[in-house]
Structure 1
Amino acid sequence: MDAILEVVALILGFLAWVLVGIALPNRYWKTSTVDGSVITTSTIYENLWMSCATDATGVHNCREFPSLLALNGYIQASRALMIASIVLGTLGLVAGLVGVQCSKAGGENYVLKGRIAGTAGVLFMLQGLCTMISVSWYAFNITQDFFDPFYPGTRFEIGEGLYIGWCSAVLAIAGGACLTCSCKMATEEKYPIPYQARGTVYSGPAQTRSVAASTYGRNAYV
């Protein structure tokens, strides 16, 4: 295992975990568009948990979604995926701290530490996939409503929370891939073989004489 690559991968995984923690409560997953509006008196923005509005004077009013079952399916799925992403990232960080070479938490069994580090890499990649699916699915619904000419409601644009989520997903996948690639599973321990002279066997005097006879011939004993 490359210790430097492991540390870099662990840092990328930690940054991804921090960013997904920032993206989840961010209020600006989507913001109302000003396209085609001559006068904009208020701006509406939403995330997975609430809908907020701000007027021209800067007053903010937020309202949490009243019912989970009344929400659209993609919002419920995005919530579940983002929460799963945080859980997977937490497990990946714990496993990564134990599995890297520079850590003493896992003892001196480097075969076991390598397997733990590989597991941490897989967890980071799963975290990135969950985040990527969540924010991409949410963004797809925003763009679908925006370009639908028959959509009667308020049109929204992609907010900063989704961009933070995409950055988190890319970092998590990159860190998990680096950690997995740096992990080399050792199958067996190899011990150095003691040096033996050519044509010499140390198992006993009789075998030593027979090897010597076959090597030097009969004239060697005359």
Structure 2
Amino acid sequence: MSNMAREILAFILTTSGWVLVSSTLPTDYWKVSSIDGTVITTATFWSNLWKTCVTDSTGVSNCKDFPSMLALDGYIQVCRGLMIAAVCLGFFGSIFALIGMKCTKIGGPDQTKARIVCLAGLTFISTGLCSLSACSLYAHRITSEFFDPMYELGAALFIGWAGSTLCILGGALFCLSLSDGMISK
């Protein structure tokens, strides 16, 4: 695979991963619990990093925002910080990637562009690790308290894990393109 094709594939992977990671932050279903009646589900409880809600069988939702940051559990504060850091790192990684890729005209000589691409790769790997840590910490908390309120893993966690994996794989491809670019020089 040519170096430019590897960079384009890495950019597609990392950008897709960053979009997935970014979409998990406002997603409602980080943890979900249902109370079943005899015929229909009577209520669905769900929670994310910002609020907790209940939806009844008629579709009416009642949400309560978390009242104070200081009153939050520590793991939610950590997850919020890691996810916001992941979104910010992914933004800067995208800029570094666009500047450093061989198919763009900005960024200077090839050796400088190769270093910028490596920086983009490391930034995306950091993005993936931040998001992976946040989703895994939240999932660990849910599974360790599984029998208490009977919550289960929500869709946002799986989306976050998928986005993290794409960011890490794409970041590694960016770093591999640096090694090929520097060896050929």
TM range (shorter): over 0.9
Structure 2 residue 155 is the aligned partner of structure 1 residue 160: yes
Q: What's the counterpart of residue 80 of structure 1? A: 81
Q: Is residue 105 from structure 1 mapped to residue 106 from structure 2 by the alignment?
A: yes
Question: Percent identity among equivalent residues?
Answer: 44
Does the residue aligned with 1:31 lie in a helix, a strand or coil? strand
Given that residues 82 and 131 in structure 1 are in contact (C-alpha distance below 8 angstroms), is that contact kept between their aligned partners in structure 2? yes
Task: Describe the SS at the equivalent of 1:42.
Answer: strand
C-alpha displacement of 1:155: 2.0
Distance 1:33 1:115 in 2: 50
How well do the aligned residues superpose, as a CA RMSD in angstroms?
1.7
CA distance in 2, matches of 1:43, 1:14: 33
Instruction: Say if 2:94 is the partner of 1:56.
Output: no
The 5-angstrom pairing of residues 175-190 of structure 1 reads 175-184=170-179, 186=182
SS state at 1:101 partner = coil
User: Per the alignment, do residues 155 and 188 of structure 1 end up closer, same or farther by CA in structure 2, a change over 3 Å counting?
Assistant: closer
* Structure showing greater Rg: 1
Letter in 2 for 1:186: M
Higher relative contact order (CA 8 A, sep 6+): 2
Q: Structure 1, residues 17-38: CA drift from partner, whole Å, max 9, x if none?
A: 111111010000000145xx55
Q: How many equivalent pairs are there?
A: 181
1:62 and 1:27 mapped to 2: Cα distance?
11
The answer to which structure has the higher strand fraction is 2
Report the structure, 1 or 2, having the larger helix content: 2
- Runs of 4+ in structure 1 off by over 6 angstroms are none
Structure 2 residue ranges without an equivalent (≥5): none
Q: Any conservation in 1 of the 2:128–2:168 contact (CA below 8 Å)?
A: yes
Q: Distance in 1 between matches of 2:166 and 2:107?
A: 26
Q: How big is the shift at 1:186?
A: 3.4
TM-score (norm 1): 0.78
Match of 2:166 among 164, 171, 180: 171
* Alpha-carbon distance between aligned partners in 2 of 1:134 and 1:160, rounded to the nearest angstrom: 14
Hey, what's the Cα distance between the residues in 2 that align with 1:162 and 1:64? 20
Q: Which sections of structure 1, spanning at least 5 residues, go unmatched?
A: 190-222
Query: Shift of residue 45 of structure 1?
Result: 0.3
Residue 146 of structure 1 contacts residue 156 of structure 1 at CA under 8 Å; is this kept in 2? yes
